[in-house]
């Protein structure tokens, strides 16, 4: 018979859980019957009683059953109330998540606004130099296309293209990723100015607007050409300078163009209107370099007059700075308040517009050339700055082909220059530019100096060196104990 009938007919109460087996075993021993039979009976009784006793139900099943019973028991009104509470709880969670996202966005915006304010004040300095390490020389690329020395270059705002100018009067647009020439504006011969679209004299400088729309180029024949950067289509020709155009820069966020010349003048142009605005005078020697950022002012290097000048356009005034012992041949703004210059006395200097003397000067920054007492420092022919950072670079001219690009770290407050590493290149470093992202540095190199032919390095190659800027990884920092 089944255990159900045994339970019904027996006079004994059901054994409690935990007592069943022990009680039945004791009863079987007392009967004194056959041991095998007793054991079999004991096993059978144990099986019968345990099948009727409470069995352990899994927790999940128990909860599910309890929930189903509650759902069956609750009224329609209670169900509506429960669902309403659940909906309100979901809304509360969503609102908390939304509030967290908005707070995060506000923090990002506040950070960006703070950076913008610091940038406008010239106090923004991103400390990235500590993360840079020397590139593998195998990763440095040389782009060749010009027949004569490269004198100037610019990088498009999106870092995808490089424009270069040279003594062969040509302009080349390069693709950074592939290294291929995308477009070439050929140079013309002297005497063909009336019919040739382009330059017929050495190109000495170029600039690109911050939106990448316009490209401006200046040559030794006193001309400024304006091009459509995307298509390299010729747009305008600016005339007015009385000597070679040696410096060009677009004011950031505008299409206002500043130009500098060997005629010692600075001119302001409005490219959108194809119009001349005004001329500023002050330098006592040829102007060799010019730069500007977003403020309505520009900075210039005055060659052998030994001065650096800050031109306040709206006030029609200028600030004059002295510091180098030789001709100041190149200049670049680091931010709105600080700049770097290089001179033919071999020195590199960092300046603040609030002080008339350099904050930091490194003499013989690229060493010396010559023997014994006839040693002369290598000319500093190009400088560059990674905008709003602590990283700058310099390039030099050398009698030998063993030239180099030197990277420097500006200490906090710009009060010292510390060498980071150097990259060897062959020839005169006539132009240097950091990419906007800071991922690479481009050096325009030639067999001759961009401003003359004092000597020539036959072993050098006229072209562009693209130098990748490698950054230390977390694994490398850990290995170095940082």
The answer to whether 282 touches 305, Cβ cutoff 8 Å, is: no
Average pLDDT over residues 249-261: 97
398 pLDDT above the threshold of 70: no
Residue 144, pLDDT score: 96
Question: Range with the lowest mean pLDDT among 274-283, 362-371, 436-445?
Answer: 362-371
Residue 401, pLDDT score: 56
Question: Range with the lowest mean pLDDT among 108-122, 285-299, 306-320, 432-446?
Answer: 108-122
Secondary element (H or E) of residue 48: helix 35-52
* CA 87/CA 80 separation, integer angstroms: 10
The answer to whether 159 touches 210, Cβ cutoff 8 Å, is: no
CATH architecture of 129-479: 7 Propeller (2.130)
432 token code pair:
């240097």
Residue 46, pLDDT score: 43
* CA 183/CA 37 separation, integer angstroms: 105
More confident residue, 210 or 367: 210
The answer to whether 179 touches 466, Cβ cutoff 8 Å, is: yes
More confident residue, 122 or 88: 88
458 pLDDT above the threshold of 80: yes
24 pLDDT above the threshold of 60: no
C-alpha atoms less than 13 angstroms from C-alpha of 417 in its C-beta half-sphere:
26
* CA 432/CA 403 separation, integer angstroms: 14
Confidence of residue 32 (pLDDT cuts 50, 70, 90): very low
Can you give the pTM of this predicted structure? 0.74
Average pLDDT over residues 149-158: 97
Average pLDDT over residues 404-423: 93
Phi-psi region of 413 (alpha: psi -120 to 50; beta: other; left: phi over 0): left
* CA 19/CA 291 separation, integer angstroms: 97
Highest mean pLDDT among 50-54, 209-213, 447-451: 209-213
In a 3-state reduction of DSSP, which class is residue 193? coil
Secondary element (H or E) of residue 62: helix 59-73
More confident residue, 36 or 187: 187
Residue 14, pLDDT score: 45
More confident residue, 175 or 56: 175
Average pLDDT over residues 38-65: 48
19 pLDDT above the threshold of 50: no
The answer to whether 411 touches 391, Cβ cutoff 8 Å, is: no
In the chain, domain spans: 3-49, 81-121, 129-479
255 token code pair:
């299409």
More confident residue, 327 or 34: 327
More confident residue, 12 or 237: 237
Question: Range with the lowest mean pLDDT among 66-80, 256-270, 425-439?
Answer: 66-80
Average pLDDT score over the chain: 84
364 pLDDT above the threshold of 60: yes
35 pLDDT above the threshold of 80: no
Q: Residue 130 class from Cβ within 10 Å (0-12 exposed, 13-18 middle, 19+ buried)?
A: middle
Average pLDDT over residues 135-149: 95
39 token code pair:
């054991």
Question: Range with the lowest mean pLDDT among 19-23, 87-91, 422-426?
Answer: 19-23
49 pLDDT above the threshold of 50: no
More confident residue, 87 or 74: 87
| Cβ neighbours around 166 below 10 Å, total | 27
Residue 340, pLDDT score: 97
152 pLDDT above the threshold of 70: yes
Residue 96, pLDDT score: 86
Residue 68, pLDDT score: 58
Residue 208, pLDDT score: 98
Name the DSSP class of 126.
B
Average pLDDT over residues 272-293: 96
Residue 43, pLDDT score: 43
Q: For residue 374, give every residue at least 6 positions away whose Cβ sits within 8 Å of its Cβ, in sequence order, or none.
A: none
Name the DSSP class of 56.
P
253 pLDDT above the threshold of 60: yes
Average pLDDT over residues 133-146: 95
Average pLDDT over residues 400-424: 89
Computed over its alpha carbons, how large is the radius of gyration of the chain?
40
| Cβ neighbours around 296 below 10 Å, total | 14
Our measurement of the distance from residue 398's CA atom to the centroid of its chain's CA atoms, rounded to an integer in Å, reads 31
Average pLDDT over residues 147-163: 97
Average pLDDT over residues 70-95: 82
Question: Range with the lowest mean pLDDT among 73-77, 107-111, 172-176, 326-330?
Answer: 107-111
Cβ burial 404-414 (10 Å sphere, 16+ → b, else e): bbbbbbbbeeb
Average pLDDT over residues 414-435: 94
209, 312, 350, 408 from 308: Cα distances, Å? 24, 13, 11, 21
Cβ burial 90-118 (10 Å sphere, 16+ → b, else e): eeeeeeeeeeeeeeeeeeeeeeeeeeeee
* CA 157/CA 346 separation, integer angstroms: 31
Average pLDDT over residues 361-373: 82
The answer to whether 331 touches 301, Cβ cutoff 8 Å, is: yes
């Amino acid at each position: 018979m089944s255990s159900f009938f045994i339970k019904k007919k027996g006079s004994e109460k059901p054994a409690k859980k935990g007592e069943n087996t022990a009680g039945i075993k004791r009863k079987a021993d007392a009967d004194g019957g056959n041991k095998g039979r007793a054991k079999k009976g004991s096993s059978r009784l144990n099986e019968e009683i345990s099948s009727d006793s409470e069995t352990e139900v899994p927790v999940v099943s128990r909860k599910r059953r309890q929930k189903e019973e509650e759902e069956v028991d609750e009224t329609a009104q209670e169900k509506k109330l429960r669902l309403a509470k659940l909906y309100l709880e979901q809304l509360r969670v969503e609102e908390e998540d939304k509030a967290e996202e908005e707070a995060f966005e506000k923090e990002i915006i506040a950070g960006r606004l703070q950076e913008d304010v610091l940038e406008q004040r010239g106090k923004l300095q991103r400390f990235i130099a500590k993360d840079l390490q020397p590139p593998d020389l195998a990763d440095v690329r040389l782009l060749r296309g010009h027949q004569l020395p490269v004198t100037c270059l610019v990088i498009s705002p999106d870092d995808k293209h490089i424009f270069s100018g040279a003594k062969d009067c040509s302009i080349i647009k390069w693709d950074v990723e592939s290294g291929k020439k995308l477009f070439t504006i050929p140079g013309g011969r002297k005497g063909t100015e009336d019919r040739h679209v382009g330059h017929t004299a050495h190109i000495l400088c170029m600039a690109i607007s911050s939106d990448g729309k316009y490209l401006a180029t200046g040559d030794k024949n006193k001309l400024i050409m304006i091009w459509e950067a995307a298509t390299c289509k010729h747009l305008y020709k600016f005339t007015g300078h009385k000597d070679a155009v040696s410096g060009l820069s677009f004011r950031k966020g505008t299409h206002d163009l500043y130009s500098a010349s060997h005629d010692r003048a600075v001119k302001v142009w409005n490219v959108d209107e194809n119009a001349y605005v005004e001329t500023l005078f002050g330098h006592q020697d040829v102007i060799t370099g010019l730069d500007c950022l977003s403020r309505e002012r520009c900075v210039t290097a005055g060659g052998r007059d030994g001065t650096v000048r800050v031109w306040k356009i709206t006030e029609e005034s200028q600030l004059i700075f002295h510091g180098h012992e030789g001709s100041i041949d190149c200049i670049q703004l680091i931010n709105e308040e600080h700049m770097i210059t290089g001179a033919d006395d071999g020195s590199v200097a960092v300046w603040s517009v609030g002080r008339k003397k350099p904050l930091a000067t490194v003499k013989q920054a690229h060493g010396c050339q010559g023997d014994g007492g006839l040693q002369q420092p290598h000319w500093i022919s190009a400088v560059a700055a990674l905008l709003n950072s602590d990283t700058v670079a310099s390039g030099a001219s050398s009698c030998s082909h063993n030239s180099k690009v030197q990277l420097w770290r500006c200490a906090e407050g710009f009060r010292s220059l510390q060498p980071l590493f150097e990259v060897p290149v062959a020839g005169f470093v006539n132009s240097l530019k950091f990419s906007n992202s800071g991922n690479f540095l481009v050096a325009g190199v030639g067999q001759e100096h961009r401003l003359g032919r004092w000597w020539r390095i036959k072993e050098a190659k006229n072209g562009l060196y693209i130098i990748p800027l490698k950054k230390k990884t977390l694994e490398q920092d850990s290995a170095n104990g940082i």
